[in-house]
Chains A and B, each alone.
Chain A
């Protein structure tokens, strides 16, 4: 049914559509990211190659950002955190948040794990980090994401421009929905319920 609705709203040979009941965007053609692998930061801060594909019946919410970011990333994670907490406990357990750093130089493994624990308590949180820029760019490309590291200022500080979507990956490895920056936690929560009930 959602596929039929998506077709009705589609604007041509490719594009982003909105199903009447979902607030997020369904990209067409659907992006397949099941084979994308990046080193995941483990408890011992080691990187172990892993995919974003969640377990059967679960959802993985993927975001590309960086911990030094003062505005967009904390806002996005605060809103997502509220959205997930709006779900009943049974549904909440089926959601994992995956953060991919676009600033591996400053975002060290222990820093990233602490960063995630600030926003997501009681929710599974995974962190992905690679210093191999080719691998990072390839992973971004699969999602339609990108970043650009800015020039350091006189103090050595720099910003990173980056795309700001949250991507919902289902157990088939497809990006089933994506939310642009500014989507309210209420709208994300509503979409999460629909996706988890499918």
Chain B
């Protein structure tokens, strides 16, 4: 009877631990796992002391199709955070470019601009990378410059209801 009670206690403890693992927010480089969605490698660059904007990059994977619908960073770090995409203007009239023979690669390297995104689809069984020159979490109104090894927590909310929090770490790359 005693052994049975002990076994049940161990199983219960294990179950609690497993549930906690799903609910717990990440710290340091650990990944916060929510069912279906994984966020890894959240990073950002140290910023010049004059810069009030920043960008956070990461990789988002999901076994089921999902959609990132909002990003939040605590007000103690920034005024606000938004999901953005840096995008190239295609086939744009470009003063000074008097060439007819431009490869597609060159055209896409012309004027870059940013636009705010309402969301970002994550394909089933696939991943989307937020990286320089592409998708990123844009930070507005940094409270202080980001220095090497700094961490900023980001909370990502998905259409499925999943909420994932990760720490972006500042690295010079």
Contacts and interface: CB of A to CB of B under 8 A. Distances in A.
Interface of A: 11-16, 25, 27, 67-72, 74-75, 78, 111, 114-115, 117-119, 137, 140-148, 150, 157, 159, 161-165, 180-182
B13 interface: no
Contact of B113 (A70, A75, A150): A150
A145 B110 CA distance: 8
A144 B51 contact: no
Contact of B95 (A71, A140, A157): A140
Contacts of B94: 144, 146, 163
5 contacts: A142-B96, A145-B96, A146-B94, A157-B140, A182-B133
Given A13-B100, A181-B112, 10 more contacts: A11-B101, A14-B99, A16-B103, A70-B54, A70-B55, A74-B51, A78-B45, A114-B49, A118-B46, A164-B110
Contact of B132 (A15, A71, A148, A163): A71
Contacts of A111: 50
Interface of B: 45-55, 84, 86, 89, 94-103, 105-106, 109-114, 132-133, 136, 138-140, 172-173
A12 B106 CA distance: 16
A1 B103 CA distance: 24
Contacts of A115: 48, 50-51
B101 A15 contact: yes
B102 A146 contact: no
B84 to A, nearest CB: 8
A15 B100 contact: yes
Nearest to A72: B112
Contacts of A71: 55, 84, 86, 114, 132-133, 136, 138
Most interface-central of B50, B84, B133, B172 (chain A CB within 10 A): B50
Given A72-B133, A78-B172, A15 B99 contact: yes
Nearest to B87: A161
A12 B101 CA distance: 8
Contacts of A145: 96
Contacts of A67: 48, 50-51
Contact of A25 (B52, B106, B138): B106
A78 B57 CA distance: 15
B55 A180 contact: no
Nearest to A17: B101
B52 A68 contact: yes
Contacts of B100: 12-15
B48 A164 contact: no
A73 to B, nearest CB: 10
Given A67-B51, A68-B52, A147 B111 contact: yes
